Amino acid sequence: MESEINKEVDIAIIGGGLAGCTAAIALAKSYNVVLVDQTDSPPERIGECLAPAARRILKQLDLLEGLEKTRLDSEQSLHLKHIGTQSYWGTEQAYVVDHLRNPDGFGWHLDRQAFEIYLRETALQRGVNCFWPAKLQSAHFENHRWQLSATANDKVSNNLLYRFKAKFVIDATGRQSQFARKIGVGREQYDKLISCWLTLPNQEANKMSTISASEFGWWYSAPLPHNRRVLALQTDPDLISRNTLKNVDQFIQLAQSNQQMARLIQRNCAATNFHQIVSANSTRLNQIAGQQWVALGDAAMSFDPLSSQGMFNAMAAAVQLTELIMERDSTGSLAPQKLKDIQISYTQQLDQIWAHYMHHKKTYYRQEMRWKDADFWKRRH
């Protein structure tokens, strides 16, 4: 039998990833917030680097100590220090950016799953109404409120149906932008970049991330927690055969055609954990905010992983949005006129970030001219 949960809240956040959790934690001090996610627990992701500047956000939200305390055992931190990146881009000489002199200190090679579990648990502890699994099904606007429904179609929850009424909605559902899509907002795709990746045991002493360009895309490798290493190829789907992207041996063989990757993986090809292809292209919602709603993180705009900024941007935008709401809504009523002001200012802020990102992306890709006649590079120059 189907059971139902009804809730009326100030703010409904759809998507309990990095963007959604950060916004929920920041907003819960002042508002009644509901946070829903379609997954019971966060899925495994490619090993990602969190930029040193995120330290300021983590500190501001009182999350830093908890993150650094997360231990693998009594000795070792779960999340590894990210000391910097060596890139072979435009030349076979390594260009190194290390974080030694970065005023924010080091970044992190995250155990992304563990990090998201930590954020979800913190949101719960700080008074956010959290529901998962709960997948957004419908959204419509009536009497100055959003009416949302979500379902938990798992066996444990027995077809539980959620109904939420909210003054304000934050779409933090990642690249799928599920809320915006349901209300008819489209998404612009700026390229077709995909990422194909695997993890393997790490025996290399080199603790830096490595980026290395090739004719048909670029490779990425970095150490991960639990003594693993990620190896990823970013390319366009029409440039590499489907078989190569689905077959571990062929993929490893392709990686070995790149001198830097061959160096990093030569001794540890044996045991591999091959993951699927994921979208890694630059995309953006045609409308980032509307009547009593905004999109946040990848739902608003998703970046090429070359920028290594997606997670930081998601967290920074969550904090900026919270500050904007607190500044404009001094009475805490979330009145429609105040929300209109927030919608305009938030859109302007994100437009600036996007313009900045596109400029940097173009500049960076133009620095690689060794294969200027190859399709992958021609499309980006």
Ligand X SMILES: Cc1cc2nc3c(=O)[nH]c(=O)nc-3n(C[C@H](O)[C@H](O)[C@H](O)COP(=O)(O)OP(=O)(O)OC[C@H]3O[C@@H](n4cnc5c(N)ncnc54)[C@H](O)[C@@H]3O)c2cc1C
By CB under 6 A, name the binding residues for ligand X.
14-20, 36-39, 46, 48-50, 135-136, 172-174, 176, 178, 195, 278, 280, 297-299, 305, 308-312, 314
Q: How far is the CB of 108 from ligand X (least distance, A)?
A: 10
Selection from 145, 140, 133, 136 nearest residue 176 by Cα: 136
Q: Which is nearer to ligand X, 129 or 309 (CB)?
A: 309
Q: Which is nearer to ligand X, 300 or 329 (CB)?
A: 300
> What DSSP state is assigned to residue 284?
E
Q: Which is nearer to ligand X, 10 or 37 (CB)?
A: 37
Please state whether 144 falls in left (phi above 0), alpha (psi between -120 and 50) or beta: left
Q: How far is the CB of 342 from ligand X (least distance, A)?
A: 19
Rounded to whole angstroms, how far apart are CA atoms 319 and 56?
A: 11
Q: How far is the CB of 335 from ligand X (least distance, A)?
A: 27
Q: How far is the CB of 302 from ligand X (least distance, A)?
A: 6
> What DSSP state is assigned to residue 305?
G
Q: Which is nearer to ligand X, 309 or 329 (CB)?
A: 309
Q: Cα torsion at 216, 217, 222, 224 (round to 10°)? A: -90
Q: How far is the CB of 298 from ligand X (least distance, A)?
A: 4
Q: Which is nearer to ligand X, 303 or 329 (CB)?
A: 303
Q: How far is the CB of 20 from ligand X (least distance, A)?
A: 6
Contact predicate 283/301, CB 8 Å: yes
Q: Which is nearer to ligand X, 209 or 260 (CB)?
A: 209
Q: Which is nearer to ligand X, 194 or 329 (CB)?
A: 194
Helices (H), 64-171: 64-69, 112-125
Rounded to whole angstroms, how far apart are CA atoms 41 and 250?
A: 32
Q: How far is the CB of 142 from ligand X (least distance, A)?
A: 20
Q: Which is nearer to ligand X, 277 or 335 (CB)?
A: 277
What are the structure tokens assigned to 268, written together?
């540890």
How many residues are there in the chain?
A: 381
Selection from 255, 311, 260 nearest residue 48 by Cα: 311
| Strand stretches in 172-216, DSSP E | 187-189, 194-201, 209-214
Rounded to whole angstroms, how far apart are CA atoms 170 and 18?
A: 13
Q: How far is the CB of 160 from ligand X (least distance, A)?
A: 14
Rounded to whole angstroms, how far apart are CA atoms 221 and 240?
A: 19
Peptide bond into 133 cis (omega under 30): yes
